[in-house]
Amino acid sequence: MPPSEREVGVLERLWNGWRSAYVQGLADDTLPIGEGQIGDGQIGEGSVFTRILGSGLEDAQTNIVHRGARCFAILNAFPYSTGHVLVLPYREVADLEDLEPDEAAELWGTVTDAVVAIKQAYAPQGLNIGINLGKPAGGSISEHLHVHVVPRWTGDSNFMTAIANTRTLPEVLTDTAARLRAGWPTVS
């Protein structure tokens, strides 16, 4: 049982502005993207990723950092750290085994390119790469398979995240997107 305010003495309140948008998005299926909102019924059906793709908005507004023939990379709107990229197929599928062979090949090639771009832009000490398949596995948008590519630094999981449920992100998403686009490998 956590200690009460009286036992601790003073309760510190830390502002974590992105969290309310995230919680609201889970409740009403409206997630903020760039300057506007892409929400339920506003721009077609499907996952938030499918709605972003169908929105007609420019990549700079949606924080898409790369488009390939079958897959694309977009910044996580609620990143674990600066530079957190999601790589996914255009086609909305839930499971790895549902990918066509050419989609699977491009997906993993795009993950590799995202690693290169993140290393170029941020020089992290490490990276986490992972997929959450299904809601029980932690997949918040489980209907549209996506691979997380997250840069990591020693000490980045400090007390802010562990104790205060707050992340310190020193850069706005539009700046992060610009840095990653600049570091993205070019096709020769």
Active site residues: 146
Distances (CA, A) of 182 to 2, 16, 117, 132, 179: 46, 29, 8, 28, 5
Q: Are 32 and 21 in contact (CB under 8 A)?
A: yes
The three-point CA angle 60-42-145 to 5° equals: 65
Tell me, letter by letter, the H, E, C secondary structure of 94-109: CCHHHCCHHHHHHHHH
**Phi, psi at residue 54, to the nearest 5°?**
-85, 0
Count of helix runs (H) and strand runs (E) in the chain? 7, 7
What is the Cα–Cα distance from 99 to 90, expressed in whole angstroms? 11
Give the largest CA-CA distance in the chain.
Answer: 63
Q: At 34, is the secondary structure helix, strand, or coil? A: coil
